[in-house]
Amino acid sequence: MNLNLEQQVTKAAVIEVYSNAKLGVAGHLVVAFLLGLVFYTRLPLEIMLVGFFLHSFVLVRRSYLIYRFNKIKDNFTDFKEITSYIKKYQFCMLLSGLFFGLFQFGVQSLSIEYHFFILAVLIGLSSGAIYTIGEVLSIYLLYLVAMIGTSMLWMVLQEGDAYNISVIMLLVSGFYSASTSVRYARNFKDMLIKEHIAKEHILEQKIAQEKILEQQNTLHYKANHDSLTDLPNRVLFEDRLNQGIEKAKRNKSVLAVYFIDLDNFKVINDSLGHDVGDMVLQAVAIRIKDILRSHDTLARWGGDEFTVVIEDLNDEHDASLLAQKILAVLKENFLIDNHELYVTTSIGISVFPKDSKDTQNLVKYADAAMYKAKDSGKNNFKFYSDNMTKMAFERVVMEASLRAAISKKEFSVHYQPQIDAKNNNFIGAEALVRWEHPTIGTISPDQFIPLAEETGLVVEIDKLVMSMAMSQFAQWRKDGYDKCVLSLNLAVKYLEQDDYIQNLKENIKKYNMDVRYLVLELTESDVMKNPESSIEKLHELSALGVNIAIDDFGTGYSSLSYLKRLPIDELKIDKSFTDDIPDNEGGTAIVKAIIAMANTIDLTIVAEGVEQKVQKDYLVKNGCNIIQGYYYAKPMVADDMLAFMKGFKDEHKS
Considering the chain, what is the average pLDDT of its residues?
83
pLDDT at res. 530: 78
Total residue count of the chain as it appears in this document: 654
- Give the range among 205-209, 391-395, 591-595 with minimum mean pLDDT: 391-395
Question: Does position 347 have pLDDT exceeding 90, yes or no?
Answer: yes
Q: For residue 224, how many other CB atoms are within 10 A of its CB?
A: 16
Mean pLDDT of the 10-23 span: 74
Residue 313, strand partner residues? 254
How far out from the chain centre does Cα 445 lie? 43
What angle (nearest 5°) sits at the alpha carbon of residue 104, between those of residues 103 and 108? Answer: 120
What angle (nearest 5°) sits at the alpha carbon of residue 319, between those of residues 313 and 320? Answer: 150
Q: What confidence tier does 132 reach under pLDDT thresholds 50, 70, 90?
A: low
pLDDT at res. 339: 86
- Which segments of 73-108 does DSSP mark as H helices, in order? 79-101, 103-106
Domain ranges of the chain: 5-200, 234-384, 414-431+456-652
pLDDT at res. 90: 77
Question: Does position 653 have pLDDT exceeding 60, yes or no?
Answer: no
How far out from the chain centre does Cα 613 lie? 65
Beta strand pairing status for 518-523 and 485-489? parallel
What are the tens digits of pLDDT across the range 489-524? 988 888 888 888 899 999 999 999 999 999 999 888
Superfamily of domain 414-431+456-652: EAL domain (3.20.20.450)
Which architecture, in CATH terms, is 234-384? Answer: 2-Layer Sandwich (3.30)
Q: Which one is predicted more confidently, 452 or 393?
A: 452
How far is Cα 649 from Cα 643, in angstroms, rounded to an integer? 10
- Give the residue among 52, 24, 54, 26 at the shortest CA–CA distance from 39: 52
User: What Rg do the C-alpha atoms of the chain give, in angstroms?
Assistant: 53
Element (H, E) at 431: strand 425-437
What are the tens digits of pLDDT across the range 526-555? 887 777 888 888 888 889 999 999 887 766
pLDDT at res. 556: 54
Beta strand pairing status for 626-627 and 604-607? parallel
Q: What is the pTM of this model?
A: 0.50
Q: Which one is predicted more confidently, 64 or 641?
A: 641
pLDDT at res. 486: 94
**CB 581 within 8 Å of CB 552:** no
